[in-house]
Amino acid sequence: CVSIVTPFYNEAGMVAIYFARLGEVLRPLSERIEFEFVCVNDGSRDATLRELQDTVPPFGRLVLVDLSRNFGKEAALSAGLDFATGDAVVPMDADLQDPPELVPEMIARWLEGTPVVLAVREDRRSDGWLKRSTSAAFYAVHNRLADTPIPPNAGDFRLIDRAVADVVRALPERQRFMKGLLSWAGFPAATLSYRRPPRASGRTKWNYAKL
Ligand code: UDP
Ligand code: MG
């Protein structure tokens, strides 16, 4: 079983688009592989929760986690990881900026025996210059200081084997930076490169102060 774990915060209108696209892309695999969709509602103030409750997944199982308030993406993803039961777990954004089209290739690599399959962005053209430069500065400083580097231009979007998920789940950190923890866990990794598309619908939940 493969778990797709997605945090949803004020993503009304996105839920149907998300499941339509995942259904389309993953259906050919669904005869051989079981899927579990773990959707975490991160205290949305719009119709997201209702839309998720009304969803009938295209196949597989839907696990709905409803947080008591907005905790932020890191915590939402962490909660999703706790509920995921798959032999592999794929964290993925709700807005389809993490293209589901990469998932079949991730699964193929995983079935060949690679425990981590990273999705790395070819370029950051879909980001503004401020996000690009602050992000480049962050990785430069972090990777000079830290013993375990974080691969630049990778997000949370990746496939991790159950063994990796269990390591991350066992960590005691409560203020979590998932990308850092996922890198810290180690394990052999393969890399797929992709071009990040703009949001399928709605707008970013970040502002620069938050970032
Ligand atoms: N998200 C969340 N809680 C938040 C902010 C964002 O669960 O407080 C989710 C959001 O619904 C999306 C993912 O995190 O699935 C990434 O958010 P967004 O697309 O707004 O970030 P960006 O792509 O602009 O960095
Ligand atoms: Mg986004």
Parts of the chain with a pLDDT under 70: 210-211
- CA–CA gap between residue 66 and residue 206 (Å, rounded): 21
Digit-coded pLDDT (tens) for 170-180: 999 988 999 99
Digit-coded pLDDT (tens) for 65-111: 999 999 999 999 999 999 999 999 999 999 999 999 999 999 999 99
Q: Is 72 in the pocket of ligand 1 (CB under 6 A)?
A: yes
**Distance of CA 113 from the midpoint of ligand 1 (Å):** 31
**Distance of CA 167 from the midpoint of ligand 1 (Å):** 24
Q: At what angle do helices 162-170 and 73-83 cross, to 10 degrees?
A: 120
Across the chain, what does the average pLDDT equal? 94
**Ligand 1 atom at minimum distance from 6 CA:** 15
- CA–CA gap between residue 160 and residue 11 (Å, rounded): 25
In degrees, to the nearest 5, what angle opens at C-alpha 39 toward C-alphas 22 and 194?
A: 45
Q: At what angle do helices 14-26 and 103-111 cross, to 10 degrees?
A: 50
Q: Which pTM does this prediction carry?
A: 0.93
**Ligand 1 atom at minimum distance from 40 CA:** 7
Q: Is 30 in the pocket of ligand 1 (CB under 6 A)?
A: no
Tokens 């071009």 label which residue?
Answer: 195
- CA–CA gap between residue 73 and residue 40 (Å, rounded): 10
Task: Say which DSSP state 169 is in.
Answer: H
Q: Is 116 in the pocket of ligand 1 (CB under 6 A)?
A: no
Ligand nearest to the CA of 94: 1
**Ligand 1 atom at minimum distance from 77 CA:** 7
Closest C-alpha residue for ligand 1 atom 21 = 204
Best residue among 17, 78, 95, 126 to mutate for probing ligand 1's pocket (most ligand atoms within 8 Å of CB) is 95
Three-state SS at 100: helix
